[in-house]
Amino acid sequence: MTTTKEFEFPLMDGTLDGMTHLVSDRAIEGDTVLLNMGPQHPSTHGVLRLLLELDGETVITCIPDVGYLHTGIEKNMEAKTYIKAEVMSDRLDYLNNMGNNLVYCLAIEKLTGLDVPERAQVIRVILVELQRISSHLVWLGTHALDLAAMSVFLYCFRERELILDIFEMISGQRMMTTFIRPGGLWRDVPVEFEAAVRQFIEALPERIQQYEKMLTKNPLFIRRTKGLGVMTPEDALRWGVTGPMLRASGIAHDLRKAQPYAGYEQYDFDIPTHTDGDTYARYLVRMEEMRQSLRIVRQALDKLPYGPVRSNNRKYVPPPRSELSTSMEAVIHHFKLWTDGFTPPKGSVYMAVESPRGELGVYLESDGGPKPYRIHWRTPSFTNLQTLPMLAKGNLVADLVALIGTADIVLGDVDR
Amino acid sequence: MDETLQSLVEQLKERFDASTYSYADEISLVIGPERMIEACRLLRDEHSFEMLVMESAVDYWPELKPRFHVILRLRSLKHNLILGIRVPLEGNFPTMPTLETVYPNANWFERELWDMFGIRSLGHSDLRRIVMPHDWEGHPLRKDFPLGYEEPQFTFNFDEIDLRKPYAKESQ
Tell me the pLDDT tens digit for each residue of B70-108: 999 999 988 888 999 999 998 888 889 999 899 999 999
Residues of chain A positioned with their CB less than 8 A from the CB of B58: 348, 365, 373-374
Residues of chain B positioned with their CB less than 8 A from the CB of A11: 126-128
**pTM (two decimals):** 0.89
Instruction: State the burial class of residue A203 (Cβ atoms within 10 Å of its Cβ: 0-12, 13-18, 19+).
Output: exposed
pLDDT of residue A277: 87
Look at residues A294, A131, A290 and name the one whose alpha carbon lies nearest to residue A200: A294
Torsion sign across C-alpha atoms A75, A132, A111, B21: negative
pLDDT of residue B14: 84
Q: What is the pLDDT of residues A212-238, one digit of tens each?
A: 888 888 888 898 888 888 999 999 999
Amino acid identity for residue A84 in this structure: K
A403 and A63 in contact (C-beta within 8 Å)? no
Q: What is the mean pLDDT of residues A401-411?
A: 89
Q: A348 CA to chain B: closest CA distance, Å?
A: 7
A285 and A245 in contact (C-beta within 8 Å)? no
B147 touches chain A (CB under 8 A): yes
pLDDT of residue B144: 82
A306 CB-near residues (< 8 Å, 6+ apart) = A119
Q: A75 CA to chain B: closest CA distance, Å?
A: 6
Residue B169 has pLDDT above 70, yes or no: no
Long-range CB contacts for residues A168-174, cutoff 8 Å, separation at least 24: A169/A193, A169/A196, A170/A127
Q: Which of A3, A7, A18 sits opposite B137 (nearest CB)?
A: A3
Comparing B152 with A55, which gets the higher pLDDT?
Answer: A55
Look at residues A142, A381, A393, A143 and name the one whose alpha carbon lies nearest to residue A242: A381
B51 and B81 in contact (C-beta within 8 Å)? no
pLDDT of residue A6: 41
pLDDT of residue A291: 92
Percent of chain A residues past pLDDT 90, beyond the cut: 47
Residue A40 has pLDDT above 70, yes or no: yes
Tell me the pLDDT of chain A averaged across its residues: 88
- A–B interface: beta-carbon pairs under 8 A: 127
Q: What is the mean pLDDT of residues A46-51?
A: 86
pLDDT of residue A67: 87
pLDDT category of residue A18 using cuts at 50, 70 and 90: low
Q: What is the pLDDT of residues A358-372, one digit of tens each?
A: 999 999 999 988 999
CB contact under 8 A, B56 and A67: no
DSSP assignment of A160-215, as one string? Answer: HHHHHHHHHHHHS-SS----EETTEESSPPPTHHHHHHHHHHHHHHHHHHHHHHHH
Interface predicted TM-score (ipTM) of this complex, two decimals: 0.87
Residues of chain B positioned with their CB less than 8 A from the CB of A8: none
Interface of B with A in 102-121 (CB under 8 A): 103-105, 107-108, 116, 118, 120
Please count the CA atoms within 13 angstroms of the CA of B169 that sit on its side-chain side: 9
Separation between Cα atoms, residue A333 and residue A319, nearest integer Å: 7
pLDDT of residue B124: 86
Please state, as a whole number, how many other Cβ atoms lie within 10 Å of the Cβ of residue B68. 25
pLDDT of residue A301: 92
pLDDT of residue A375: 93
Q: What is the pLDDT of residues A120-156, one digit of tens each?
A: 999 999 999 999 999 999 999 999 888 878 888 999 9
Q: B72 CA to chain A: closest CA distance, Å?
A: 10
Q: B117 CA to chain A: closest CA distance, Å?
A: 10
pLDDT of residue B1: 60
Q: Which of A11, A79, A253 sits opposite B77 (nearest CB)?
A: A253
Which residues pair with residue A352 across a beta bridge?
A: A361
Interface test with A, best of B1, B54, B127 (most A CBs within 10 A): B54
Residue A14 has pLDDT above 60, yes or no: no
Q: Which of B92, B130, B147 sits opposite A75 (nearest CB)?
A: B147
SS3 A403: helix
Interface of B with A in 37-66 (CB under 8 A): 50-54, 56, 58-59
Q: What is the mean pLDDT of residues B137-164?
A: 82
Q: Which of B54, B141, B142 sits opposite A378 (nearest CB)?
A: B54
Phi, psi of A360 (to 5 degrees): -105, 115
Residues of chain A positioned with their CB less than 8 A from the CB of B118: 2, 4, 7
Interface test with A, best of B22, B105, B163 (most A CBs within 10 A): B105
pLDDT of residue B171: 57
CB contact under 8 A, A21 and B56: no
Comparing A217 with B135, which gets the higher pLDDT?
Answer: A217
Q: What is the pLDDT of residues A58-104, one digit of tens each?
A: 998 888 888 888 988 999 898 889 999 999 998 888 899 999 999 99
CB contact under 8 A, B138 and A13: no
pLDDT of residue A22: 79
pLDDT of residue A108: 93
A39 and A80 in contact (C-beta within 8 Å)? no
Residue A17 has pLDDT above 70, yes or no: no
Residue B23 has pLDDT above 50, yes or no: yes
Residues of chain A positioned with their CB less than 8 A from the CB of B130: 66-67
Q: What is the pLDDT of residues A262-316, one digit of tens each?
A: 889 999 999 999 988 899 999 999 999 999 999 999 999 999 999 999 998 888 9
Residue A398 has pLDDT above 90, yes or no: no
Residue A240 has pLDDT above 80, yes or no: yes
Percent of chain A residues past pLDDT 70, beyond the cut: 96
Residue A164 has pLDDT above 90, yes or no: yes
